[in-house]
Amino acid sequence: MIDVPFEASVDALHLAYARKELRPVDVVRAHLNRVLENDLATSGGTRPPFNAIQTIDPRAVDEALSLERTGERGGALYGIPVWLKDTIDVEGLPTTCGNAGLRESIAKTDARLVKNLREQGAIILGKTCLTELGAGPSGFSSAAGRTGNAYDPRNTPGGSSSGSAVAVSLDFGTLAVGIDDCESITTPAAHNGCVGFRPTSGVVDREGLAAFAVSDTSPGPITRSVADAATMLDALVSSDGTSSRKFRNSVADASIDGIRLGVVESVGRFTMAHEECFVSGGGTSLARSLETMRSAGAKVVDKVRLDGFLFERLSELEYHNTFVEHLRRRACAPRTPFGVYVSSLRFRELILREPDSWWRLVPFKLPNIHERAYRKVVIHNRALVTTLMDRLEIDALVGTTSRLLSTIATLAQLPHLTVPAALVHVEETEFVRPPNWHHGTMRPVGISFLGRPGADEDVLRIGAAFERSRGPRVPPPRALAAASASSDVGEIEAFQVAKRAIGEQTSSLCQFDGEVLTRPTWEEFARIVHGAASLTAP
């Protein structure tokens, strides 16, 4: 089998294609083989799997061959393998949203962003796992169970775009698309040593997503470098089939010299110091990163405070209404939110315990009574951030990637980029402990850059400059099995069967203990996966 370099960038693959050293079909097969041999590996049931992939598209190899036959090498992502978060419609594949009840919910057409990727030559490998219905950072779903961190699968991957970040970090594919509502791209990217970019809301088309809110939702790239993120963003926003280099050109020869960065100290009553308690080594990593940027010529403004920031998030009815529309377009059950929620122990119990959530069960769209109030919140927050940055002459806000900074980006509709900063040892404290993080393991820490609304190119340029001054990212420490087998259709089918069995067995062990949902431990999950993978082995 032809050797495909590990962690090859978009530019490196394009160079190999131009020199006829590789073909797209070689690259696709190598990445699918890596998934088949590693995604469900448990070392005999003694360690949890990565479990990053929800569905493999069995047409990927044929699409690569078809692309080669055209003889055209145009497009920003020609021959580049891409994974998609499983809330994005791909014709002929289920859009499960991580929910067991939606396994047969086959999409009739590609989402707009998927069409754009294909027009730029990308090859869609399939769908990645996520936190069920995109709700929270757990990385757990009834459709596939538990996703493990790329650096140590006992640790949390972050969410909700968990599988997209893990897949890219492990080089199951070159690029992935995440969907960010609030930290859903940036947190898993930071937890898995990746670059994650939430563009300004509205930059990437949201048509064809299972559920979204115009106020919150922003699809974006998860990659291993800022240059690849910029290249992918050009493809995601392309609407006429032409190859734009707007974002990629913005990172070319990027320099940190003369850039003014504002270090966020607090936002309203919340402080970054408290946030960094939950990020082992976060404060130290930020200090070292700032010193690196100072040495390269950046100007740092310390103790930036966003006083008066409003934290009212009023977009739930927007999500409900788009989810109702999404389910109505499906040809099979469930076709109402209630049908989806009853198939999930977690959501069924939560709704039953929260009388104020009755509207989630309504099978039709509801008047968005919060629309005007939420618009005022966003306008206020955008003005607050912009005025502060103008007054301090700041090019970007900076801090350890955290929920607080992600919330700022969501509630002010700002571009938010996270870039790997360091690998640190997890030290157990009252804030950092199992089951999310395990003492003595290694975890990545990301640094966030937030810009003015619409200043996506500036944020990417600053992130690229920091990346250049920081040096190459440190990949996951554990070597993967060599990609030596052929990506046989039978192996792909067995993989899909195993995923279904894993989801069913894992969900059956979930229980509500009082007000808390208990899930299988990583040890229990490893045994479940080992058994399911053994039974379905070809």
- Cα–Cα dist 250/506, whole Å: 45
DSSP-assigned letters across all residues of 265-301: EEETTEEHHHHHTTSTTHHHHHHHHHHHHHHTT-EEE
Which of 105, 138, 141, 184 is flagged as catalytic?
184
Give the dihedral sign, CA 398/267/304/272. negative
Q: Return d(Cα 526, Cα 43) in angstroms, integer.
A: 9
Q: Which residues of 143-178 are buried (b: 16+ CB within 10 A; e: fewer)?
A: bbbbbbbbbbbbbbbbbbbbbbbbbbbbbbbbbbbb
Q: For residue 435, what is the DSSP state?
A: T
- One DSSP character per residue, 66-102 reads HHHHH----STTTT-EEEEETTB--TTSB--TT-GGG
d(CA 387, CA 389): 6
160 is catalytic: yes
Catalytic annotation present for 85 = yes
Question: Which of 100, 50, 46, 85 lies closest to 507, judged by CA?
Answer: 100
Contact in structure between 32 and 169 (CB atoms under 8 Å): no
| C-alpha span between 292 and 295 (Å, rounded) | 5
Choosing from 105, 160, 280, 289, the catalytic residue is 160
| Options 85, 115, 127, 499, the catalytic residue | 85
User: What amino acid positions are annotated as catalytic residues?
Assistant: 85, 160, 184
